[in-house]
Amino acid sequence: MTDSKYFTTTKKGEIFELKAELNSDKKEKKKEAVKKVIASMTVGKDVSALFPDVVNCMQTDNLELKKLVYLYLMNYAKSQPDMAIMAVNTFVKDCEDPNPLIRALAVRTMGCIRVDKITEYLCEPLRKCLKDEDPYVRKTAAVCVAKLHDINAQLVEDQGFLDTLKDLISDSNPMVVANAVAALSEIAESHPNSNLLDLNPQSINKLLTALNECTEWGQIFILDCLANYTPRDDRESQSICERVTPRLSHANSAVVLSAVKVLMKFMEMLPKDLDYYGTLLKKLAPPLVTLLSAEPELQYVALRNINLIVQKRPEILKHEMKVFFVKYNDPIYVKLEKLDIMIRLASQANIAQVLAELKEYATEVDVDFVRKAVRAIGRCAIKVEQSAERCVSTLLDLIQTKVNYVVQEAIVVIKDIFRKYPNKYESVIATLCENLDSLDEPEARAAMIWIVGEYAERIDNADELLESFLEGFHDESTQVQLQLLTAIVKLFLKKPTETQELVQQVLSLATQDSDNPDLRDRGYIYWRLLSTDPVAAKEVVLAEKPLISEETDLIEPTLLEELICHIGTLASVYHKPPSAFVEGSRGVMHKRLPARTGSGEGTECPDVGNAAGGSAPEAAPSIIPSQGDLLGDLLNLDLAPPTTAGPTPSTSGMQMGGMDLLGGGLDSLLGGDIGGSPAMGAGFGAAPAVMPASLNAPVGGGLGDLFDLGGGVGMPMGAYIPPKTVWLPAMKAKGLEISGTFARRAGVIQMELVLTNKAMSVMTDFAIQFNRNSFGLAPAGPLQVLTPLGPNQTIEVSLPLSTVGPVMKMDPLNNLQVAVKNNIDVFYFSCQYPISMLFVEDGKMERQVFLATWKDIPNDNESQFQIQDCHLNSEAASNKLQGSNIFTIAKRTVEGQDMLYMSIKLSNGIWVLAELKVQAGNPNYTISLKCRAPEVSQCVFQCYEAVLKN
Amino acid sequence: MIGGLFIYNHKGEVLISRVYRDDIGRNAVDAFRVNVIHARQQVRSPVTNIARTSFFHVKRSNIWLAAVTKQNVNAAMVFEFLYKMCDVMTAYFGKISEENIKNNFVLIYELLDEILDFGYPQNSETGALKTFITQTGIKSQSKEEQSQITSQVTGQIGWRREGIKYRRNELFLDVLESVNLLMSPQGQVLSAHVSGRVVMKSYLSGMPECKFGMNDKIVIDKQGKGGASEEAAGKSDLGGSGGGGGKQSIAIDDCTFHQCVRLSKFDAERSISFIPPDGECELMRYRTTKDIILPFRVIPLVREVGRTKLEVKVVIKSNFKPSLLAQKIEVRIPTPLNTSGVQVICMKGKAKYKASENAIVWKIKRMAGMKESQISAEIELLPTNDKKKWARPPISMNFEVPFAPSGLKVRYLKVFEPKLNYSDHDVIKWVRYIGRSGIYETRC
């Protein structure tokens, strides 16, 4: 039988011929014809015209033919929905067939026919098949529910299939369980809050039992599902880990990786001093190493994952350096990944070996690999201080090879080594300068120029070298141009006499002949600095640089945590969160590692722990979906420059003549006032690139202090300030965490924010905007974050608020939607402010007015509340409330019960009248509130409760 | 999950195209062809993302298999599935080639329908699949047969069917090891490991319960302490003739098992018990790094004489019992690209310079243990102005030896079948040890 002939028919009139054959009486001929149709379909020919003829062949007892027809149907039903209906009858009939294989085939195929009209007919047969006596049919039906959900989610819910599917998790057959888990997990992804999987200790136990019995694929489905569960405590976590570890010896690498995912996640919850914790760490290493003897494609997946694991828990593989040595025959993608991991594992103990290897790699053929190897040597030098000397000499050896790309790569990393170990290896500069001509890549040229500029005083012909670059200034890339500008200014500051001409030349090139705004601005800044105060210029441009940190390419901790939850999946291969490459909402839920519980560690971050897998409802604060009007407001925000932008660059530079630039300044520079004022110097940042921002530092600091002062002065006693809560977790805001509270101080409403940078890059340009809200709250001034917020830094800011902004009723009433912008993105969150912020100081009503008003407000507007467990007497309560501008007007005692009458005035002029009943010895108060706008009563009551209990 | 699966020939023509999910369209087929197959060497990863669609590919001879998805799928699972797919196809029609795929496309579609449902892999054990995907037309199966099929496909022991009968109960165990070495020119072992496999071919009746034992250090030490010698009786059964001599037990770094092995039992007691599939299966894989017997040592000496001449001398020493013979020995000595001529002298075997492979290939049919042999060569070079130095790839070696370089020994394999009347003693058992070179390289 040579079916390959079907691939070669390309005659004209083919369709017509096929039609005739399909309608032939002979069974064999029919089958041959269908095969031809499928072959044409495969190579991409359109054979949809044959639809009715093919469907006619469906009624057959030949299973092979039937399968072919079904295959055709799945492909073309969508384009011929009306015709597809013709097939329904056969499906329904097949679902009743005595042969389970045929029943399963029918239900499997029906689910793949994505035609709305057909899906209606599918429900009844599917319901039967889900309860079929044969496990083969049930496991097929379970997947069919997921198919149907993909076509029509509402239908699945209405028909109650989800419950039937949930029941299948307790099925006696492990494969049915596995498919049901797979189907439910998929459906749950599109309903992040539905708690569909309903993972609890009982269902987890069932899954763990099925895990031992089902196929390798089923084990993967179950393990991936388990990884979404968050155990209640460390003991449960340990017991699950114990039952998952045997999977580490499975021959299927995917089973192993999924087991590793579960273990890595649940390990978070185990106390580190537990013996079991250490045992588990030890058990993880061998299977990970074994993954490296799998086929190369799997090795690649494994290596990408190991890269994450090594960053999260370096202790697991720290002794396994050798297995990551590159083999000559490894595919290039495996080589590159191994190299990455080698550097991550490099330490003082193994550095000698690693360096010998890297040197070996640097002589290989593949250019990318060689480059990476050279770069790796530099990274080793930076990471392991003891090895720096050897690394530098190895790099010098490599430079001697004169291989163009090796030299360039070496120069780039040597620049970094200089940054890490200043004044140590500068003797090699001479060798570097010899290779100036061979540099043709921007990065290498920029690095070399930086070196020349930085060490200009030690290079005799620095001016000549830089001048040679200047000739083709406009053809260079921006990176090189910027470096050249800075380097020449450095040179000038170091050797002012000989290089005046050069610096003028570069400044005019940068400011007058360039279209690049970065270049132009940097040019002007230098220009102004040099012309106004050369001493300051020296301190700015030649400031001491902070040392660069050891590891430069670590994944941000929040992203790393998320990726650890995705071990084995594409996300872990790409090192990107699923949202970066998956369309729509499916599977985009952020996953997080569970928080450690148990053994007295407490729950420091309450909002991390309760994310019960992918399905728990998000804890407050909720994130606002971008709303139309909010977006509009934010556009304004972008346009209006924050007042913190620092001194506006003077435009006068434009008219400034090139010649008088160095007039007065030069003398003082030559005067040799090199000492400078250290206090000033300290305030300035290092690299020119961040200079504009750091310039603000001293000014900003002062302003901030001033505001703090304002906040501290004249605070009336006892005003209630709720404790700070996290409004915007770092997960949601690319590393920016915002917590805060509201306070009313001296009649000014203030929003007190704590901004924490949990990302790895500096944040600047903060600004804030509110959405319209019930009481017209709006920022009274800009957000005063004047210094850039470095990684792991925290800053506290008070933002005065006014109540004259646009008004829109919110639900709940005291809800406030906020947008915060920084240099990275715009983030949205919402928070609730205590309404007591809005109680104004002149809220004390005259007694008579009070009585009249009380009577005047209809009784429908009165609401009663109970405050429980309050142990204050009426006197203390009254004092406490007064602190928050709730004024007691009268008090009377009836039968041992104190009745307090109070008044409150809101910032928008609404009056609230209250009657508080306090009975001695009874901790429960009764409060009645009367107001013309009864909506506020609930909020006011909450304030009472908050104030009295704090 | 997997959204579609395509098979292409080397030109990028589609041979098989099966789409499981709506989000994968016909354009995905072309995207892969244009961006991966036709990109030649540009593609540097087995996972490619093109326009938010991810493509996983593996290549078998000149056939490309590609799985496509738009979701965050389990990547390891997709590759495992693609390998499995290759195994299944090989089991059905032999080598994976364009010809074979075209000849069996109907079968492949049928298989794809069965082993991948909505992109979720289903039971893909060939043993089970062959019971009901036959391509010989549908036989009218009896009701019992049908339910037997379905219970096997979905059952706990999906890899074996009931009612197997043999007149002679027999089993063959092959311990196949590949020994890998990377040695510095000075003879320092940079890395060495053995990756081994235990392959079992069994022809046993019924549903036999098997127990496998080897000289695993953890087990031996445990028994040593306990003093119990339950296993000792079986020890004489299958003692292998290793080349390493008196090594009692070996430290296994890690091992993985065929899905028939009860993993939780191994985890708890370190005992290997299972009901094997009928016929051949890979029972376990393991890895060792300690106390490896390196069967050969390569001592290279390369001298550059001026700019146009190289002198190479390589000595190989065999390092195992003199009574054992190594076979199929091949030493591959790389030569520079600008080699113009080579003169070789060797004492044993044949050596040839193969210009197309840029190497001197030295072959020796057989070599006993504790011997040594030598080759010397003079390599003439053409003068070049290439600045880059010759990279000096390592000298690699191939061989086969009749022992396990890791020192692993099979201690016993016991068979119990309570329902049928044959006992462990009636089963004829054969054990064979083969050590082969994996990547066995010495830098020069």
3-state secondary structure of A600: coil
Match 């009274």 to its residue by tokens.
Answer: A780
CB contact under 8 A, B52 and A247: no
Among left, alpha and beta (phi > 0; psi -120 to 50; other), residue A198 is left
Any A CB within 8 A of B110 CB: yes
What pairing do the DSSP bridges indicate for beta strands B428-442 and B170-183? parallel
Instruction: List Cα–Cα distances, A800 to A146, A702, A746, A939, in angstroms.
Output: 53, 17, 11, 22
- Nearest chain B residue to A2 by CA distance is B103
Q: Which of A67, A353, A568 sits opposite B76 (nearest CB)?
A: A568
The DSSP symbol for A924 reads -
pLDDT at res. B212: 93
Angle at A551 between CA A545 and CA A553, to 5 degrees: 105
Cα dihedral A311→A312→A318→A321 (10° resolution): -40
A570 vs B contacts (CB less than 8 Å): 47, 54, 69, 71-73, 75
pLDDT at res. A226: 93
Match 């083919």 to its residue by tokens.
Answer: A14
Round the average pLDDT of chain A to a whole number and report it. 80
Among left, alpha and beta (phi > 0; psi -120 to 50; other), residue A836 is alpha
**Among the listed residues B369, B240, B361, the one whose alpha carbon sits nearest the alpha carbon of residue B295:** B369
Any B CB within 8 A of A63 CB: yes
- Nearest chain A residue to B137 by CA distance is A64
pLDDT of residue A10 exceeding 60, the answer is no
Q: pLDDT per residue over A27-41, tens digit each?
A: 888 888 888 888 888
Q: pLDDT per residue over B199-243, tens digit each?
A: 999 999 988 999 999 998 888 888 776 544 444 433 333 444 444
Is the pLDDT higher at A934 or at A140? A140
Q: Which of residues 584-613 of A touch B (CB under 8 A)?
A: 586-587
pLDDT of residue A616 exceeding 50, the answer is no
Is the pLDDT higher at A888 or at A306? A306
Interatomic CA distance for residues A887 and A885, integer angstroms: 6
Contact B297, B187 (CB under 8 A): yes
**Among the listed residues B400, B382, B271, B395, the one whose alpha carbon sits nearest the alpha carbon of residue B325:** B400
**CB atoms closer than 10 angstroms to residue B299:** 18
3-state secondary structure of A534: helix
Q: pLDDT per residue over A406-416, tens digit each?
A: 999 999 999 88
Instruction: List Cα–Cα distances, A357 to A334, A335, A342, A354, A498, in angstroms.
Output: 16, 12, 10, 5, 47
Q: pLDDT per residue over A292-332, tens digit each?
A: 989 999 999 999 999 999 999 999 999 989 889 998 888 99
Interatomic CA distance for residues A596 and A763, integer angstroms: 29
**Among the listed residues A846, A833, A832, A831, the one whose alpha carbon sits nearest the alpha carbon of residue A905:** A846
**Among the listed residues A871, A878, A814, the one whose alpha carbon sits nearest the alpha carbon of residue A844:** A878
Alpha carbon B246 to its chain's center: 28
- Which residue type sits at A946? A
- Write out the two tokens for B69: 């998805």
CB contact under 8 A, B123 and A297: no
Kindly report the three-state secondary structure assignment for every residue of A416-452: HHHHHCCCCCHHHHHHHHHCHHHCCCHHHHHHHHHHH
Q: Which of residues 154-193 of A touch B (CB under 8 A)?
A: 173-176, 179, 182, 186
Any A CB within 8 A of B42 CB: no
CB contact under 8 A, A581 and B285: no
pLDDT of residue A872 exceeding 70, the answer is yes
Match 């660069």 to its residue by tokens.
Answer: A548
Any A CB within 8 A of B72 CB: yes
pLDDT at res. B127: 80
Cα dihedral A363→A365→A368→A374 (10° resolution): 0
Q: From the CA of A384, how many Å to the nearest CA of chain B?
A: 21
Angle at B33 between CA B27 and CA B36, to 5 degrees: 120
Alpha carbon A618 to its chain's center: 16
Contact B443, B187 (CB under 8 A): no
Interatomic CA distance for residues A866 and B137, integer angstroms: 80
Interatomic CA distance for residues A596 and A266, integer angstroms: 9
- Structural domain boundaries of chain B? 4-130, 170-224+249-292+404-442, 296-401
- Write out the two tokens for A649: 């660059």
Contact A560, A312 (CB under 8 A): yes
pLDDT at res. B243: 44
Sheet holding A725-728, edge to edge: A725-728, A736-745, A748-757, A794-802, A778-779
pLDDT of residue A652 exceeding 50, the answer is no
Q: pLDDT per residue over B65-114, tens digit each?
A: 999 999 999 999 999 999 999 999 999 999 999 999 999 988 999 999 99
Interior/surface letters A164-175, b for 16+ CB within 10 angstroms, e for the rest: bbeebbebebbb
pLDDT of residue A465 exceeding 90, the answer is no
B58 vs A contacts (CB less than 8 Å): 295, 297
Contact A660, A528 (CB under 8 A): no
pLDDT at res. A136: 92
pLDDT of residue A706 exceeding 60, the answer is no
Q: Which of residues 869-908 of A touch B (CB under 8 A)?
A: none
Q: From the CA of B9, how many Å to the nearest CA of chain A?
A: 12
Instruction: List Cα–Cα distances, B438 to A364, B349, B396, B410, in angstroms.
Output: 21, 22, 10, 22
Contact B182, B219 (CB under 8 A): no
B195 vs A contacts (CB less than 8 Å): 293
Q: Which of residues 27-46 of A touch B (CB under 8 A)?
A: 35, 38-39, 42-44
CB contact under 8 A, A67 and B113: yes
pLDDT at res. A552: 63
B4-130 fold? Beta-Lactamase (3.30.450)
pLDDT of residue A820 exceeding 90, the answer is no
- Write out the two tokens for A378: 């530099």
Written as one string, the DSSP assignment of A40-76 is: HHHTT---GGGHHHHHHTTS-S-HHHHHHHHHHHHHH
Lowest mean pLDDT among A392-401, A550-559, B265-274: A550-559
Q: pLDDT per residue over A239-289, tens digit each?
A: 999 999 999 999 999 999 999 999 999 999 899 888 999 999 999 999 999
- Nearest chain B residue to A249 by CA distance is B256
Is CATH 2.60.40.1170 what the domain over B170-224+249-292+404-442 is classified as, yes or no?
yes
- What Rg value do the Cα atoms of chain A yield, rounded? 36
Instruction: List Cα–Cα distances, B181 to A355, A736, B438, in angstroms.
Output: 19, 49, 8
Contact B350, B371 (CB under 8 A): no
| Residue A408 main-chain phi, psi, to 5 deg | -65, -45
Q: From the CA of B229, how many Å to the nearest CA of chain A?
A: 26
Sheet holding B14-19, edge to edge: B14-19, B4-8, B63-69, B53-60, B47-50
Q: Which of residues 632-651 of A touch B (CB under 8 A)?
A: none
What pairing do the DSSP bridges indicate for beta strands A736-745 and A748-757? antiparallel
pLDDT at res. A747: 81
Q: From the CA of A272, how many Å to the nearest CA of chain B?
A: 23
Could you name the CATH architecture of B296-401?
Sandwich (2.60)
Tell me how far apart the terminal alpha carbons of chain A are, to the nearest angstrom. 87
Q: Which of residues 356-375 of B touch A (CB under 8 A)?
A: none
The number of residues in chain B equals 444
CB contact under 8 A, A42 and B105: yes
Which regions of chain B are under pLDDT 70? 41-43, 135-141, 156, 225-247, 386-389
- Which residue type sits at A232? R
| B296-401 matches B4-130 in CATH topology | no
Q: Which of A143, A301, A581 sits opposite B49 (nearest CB)?
A: A581
Lowest mean pLDDT among A643-647, A786-790, B100-104, B337-341: A643-647
Contact B436, B179 (CB under 8 A): yes
CB contact under 8 A, A174 and B156: yes
CB contact under 8 A, B137 and A62: yes
User: Per the confidence metrics, is the pTM higher than 0.80?
Assistant: no
- Write out the two tokens for B308: 């146009």
Question: CB neighbours of A928 closer than 8 A, spacing ≥ 6?
Answer: A862, A863, A864, A865, A914, A915
pLDDT at res. A176: 93
Q: Which of residues 295-334 of B touch A (CB under 8 A)?
A: none
Angle at A207 between CA A204 and CA A212, to 5 degrees: 135
Q: From the CA of A905, how many Å to the nearest CA of chain B?
A: 55
| Residue A601 main-chain phi, psi, to 5 deg | -75, -15
- Write out the two tokens for A395: 């790099």
CB contact under 8 A, B76 and A254: yes
Interatomic CA distance for residues B357 and A37, integer angstroms: 46
**Among the listed residues A485, A481, A415, the one whose alpha carbon sits nearest the alpha carbon of residue A444:** A415
For residue A860, count CB atoms less than 10 angstroms from its CB and return exposed for 0-12, middle for 13-18, buried for 19 or more. Answer: exposed
- What Rg value do the Cα atoms of chain B yield, rounded? 26
- Nearest chain A residue to B114 by CA distance is A105
Contact A588, A582 (CB under 8 A): yes
Contact A177, A210 (CB under 8 A): yes
Q: From the CA of B42, how many Å to the nearest CA of chain A?
A: 11
**Among the listed residues A577, A545, A573, A579, the one whose alpha carbon sits nearest the alpha carbon of residue A558:** A577
Interatomic CA distance for residues A563 and A578, integer angstroms: 9
Look at the alpha carbons of A499, A501, A506, A510 in this order and tell me if their dihedral is positive or negative: positive
Any B CB within 8 A of A578 CB: yes
Q: Which of A357, A368, A583 sits opposite B70 (nearest CB)?
A: A583
pLDDT at res. B176: 96
pLDDT of residue A12 exceeding 90, the answer is no
Is the pLDDT higher at A86 or at A468? A468
